[in-house]
Amino acid sequence: MHNVYVLVLSVVRQFVVAFCLLIPAGAAAQMTLANGTVVIGNDRGGVVKDRLIELRNLRATGQPVEIRGNICYSTCTMLIGLPQTCVAPSTTFGFHGPSSYGRPLPASEFDHVSRVMAHYYPEPIKTWFLQEGRNRINGVYRISGAELIRFGVSSCTG
């Protein structure tokens, strides 16, 4: 009986791993409410190119975006630049510069991707990111939603 249990557990684990590999980094952290609002929560980020597609689609539809939950790290932070985005004061935002899975990019690519990311940040976050925030590629600078709201990012109500 024990061997059957171990076999079933192994098969279930393989299925879960395979299923998770099919889901983009931020997808599991996103849901759309009946009113069309996209709620982002506990999003650890992902690949800049993938996030740019998401940003383009959200800008085109104009769907309201609410960033809630405990964290919004890495490319998730680019969502704060959409005019229809609001943030929860309690959410922690994690900013860092672009890398190739933690490895430094060539200087010209680093500068280009940093500027692409910064394009989606409102001032003064954009200036801070280009001067300081992008220089950390291992770890993140943590900024609370409350701080971002003080810098002019919209606050989610309710």
Whole-number pLDDT of residue 12? 32
Q: 92-112: per-residue pLDDT in tens?
A: 999 999 999 889 999 999 999
Whole-number pLDDT of residue 101? 84
The pLDDT of residue 11 is above 50: no
pLDDT band at 68 (very low <50, low <70, confident <90, very high): very high
The pLDDT of residue 154 is above 80: yes
The pLDDT of residue 74 is above 60: yes
Q: Does pTM surpass 0.95?
A: no
Whole-number pLDDT of residue 17? 29
Q: 120-139: per-residue pLDDT in tens?
A: 999 999 999 999 999 999 89
The pLDDT of residue 158 is above 70: no
Three-class DSSP labels, the chain = CHHHHHHHHHHHHHHHHHHHHHCCCCHHHEEECCCCCEEEEEECCCCHHHHHHHHHHHHHHCCCEEEEEEEEEHHHHHHHHCCCEEECCCCEEEECCCCECCECCCHHHHHHHHHHHHHCCCCCHHHHHHHCHHHCCCCCEEEEHHHHHHCCCEECCC
Q: What domains lie within the chain, and their CATH numbers?
A: 26-155 (3.90.226.10)
Q: What share of the chain in percent tops pLDDT 90?
A: 70
